Amino acid sequence: MRSHGNPTTRSPAGVRSRPASCRHGAGLVLAGVNDPSRPVASREGLPGATVWLTGLPSAGKSTIAWALAAQLRAEARRTEVLDGDEMRGLLSAGLGFSRADRDTNVQRVGLVAELLARNGVLTLVPVIAPYEQAREAVRRRHEKSGTAYLEVHVAAPVEVCARRDVKGLYARQREGLLTGLTGVDDPYEEPERPDLRLDTDRQSEAESVRALRALLTDRGLCAP
């Protein structure tokens, strides 16, 4: 039986693409990247920050991130989304799904996120990041440069995630067609003290987005 590691990197045909309003911004040019000790504010005068949304596959991480990004971009807030599938396919192409490779992927994404956030960009990171140690290493990177970092646990029972799964990953795992599905036959270490927990089995997408935005507003990272 072939192992596909963490199959969340697969994007089979028929998966709903994100809205066109969420796709722009890839050509962002950063200034001041050579001085990591001095985070800069955005054009709106708001500090940059990384918001890491961690959770099981199909818990709702990307859905929430892209919905919030669309709102903030409509208000001219500099916002980027580092989507897990895109990062795996580009930044971490060639990595497998051993613990070491998963941790390397998280550190690479964390580096890019901190670079963007340090330069005034609100950076949303819907990436599973299953291991607490790797997530804490990313947090420390941000603390070292004085850059804001928030951890959001997007939580849903695995059976709910399986019902939502448009990629069919959970079904394929049950059929023995893949292994290494996070939260099923590969570990997921839940955050012990996240800045916010979103229970997406009980909250709608709109409610989750409002809760996350309220947190950002409270921390001075976006307008009310």
- What residue numbers does the annotated binding site for ATP cover? 55-62
What residues are designated binding site? 55-62
Cβ neighbours for 151, distance < 8 A, ≥ 6 positions apart: 52, 54, 135, 139, 191, 194, 195, 196
Task: Identify whether the C-beta of residue 173 lies closer than 8 Å to the C-beta of residue 218.
Answer: no
What residue type is assigned to position 29 of the chain? V
Count CB-CB contacts under 10 A for residue 220.
Answer: 11
**CA 205 to CA 67: how far, in whole Å?**
8
In degrees, to the nearest 5, what angle opens at C-alpha 81 toward C-alphas 110 and 96?
50
Burial 167-193 (b: 16+ CB within 10 A, else e): bbbbebbeeeebbbbbbbebebeebee
Task: Identify whether the C-beta of residue 182 lies closer than 8 Å to the C-beta of residue 130.
Answer: yes
Under DSSP, is residue 54 helix (H, G, I), strand (E, B) or coil?
strand
Q: Are strands 122-126 and 79-81 parallel, antiparallel or unpaired?
A: parallel
Q: For the chain, what is the total number of helices (H) and then of strands (E)?
A: 7, 5
